[in-house]
């Protein structure tokens, strides 16, 4: 699915401090393409498609899962960045996602 960047809301993900181009960006294990799937704004990745991190589960939700009454089917995207540091391949996984403000 193609989302037009620069229009509407953006979800942002901070780049690791030691990450510099070139790097690879993955969402849920799928390689993303700069300019099509995300943009770079300073030290952040900007996505126009909605991304979500599952929040902490409350006591009632944990109890219902434990008792087998319900599962957890909330959206939980994972953004990973693969980059080089000192000639070594480094992977930052599960980077924090900030919703539009």
> What does the DSSP assignment read for 28-74?
TTEEE-BTTTBEEETTEEEESS------PPPHHHHHHHHTTS-----
Q: What is the band of 8 on the pLDDT scale with cuts at 50, 70, 90? A: confident
pLDDT (0 to 100) of residue 76 = 83
What are 57-85's pLDDT values in tens digits?
556 655 655 666 655 555 789 999 999 99
25 touches 45 (CB < 8 A): yes
pTM over 0.85: no
Domains of the chain: 11-92 (2.60.40)
| Dihedral sign of CA atoms 45, 80, 28, 14 in order | negative
């Amino acid at each position: 699915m193609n989302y037009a960047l620069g229009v509407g809301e953006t979800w942002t993900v901070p780049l690791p401090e030691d990450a510099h181009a070139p790097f690879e960006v993955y969402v849920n294990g799928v390689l993303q393409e700069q300019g099509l799937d995300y943009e770079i704004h300073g030290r952040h990745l900007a996505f126009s498609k909605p991304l979500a991190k599952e929040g902490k589960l409350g006591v009632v939700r944990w109890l219902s899962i434990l008792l087998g009454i319900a599962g957890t089917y909330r959206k939980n995207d994972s953004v990973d960045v693969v980059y080089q540091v000192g000639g070594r391949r480094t992977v930052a996984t599960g980077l924090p996602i900030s919703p539009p403000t």
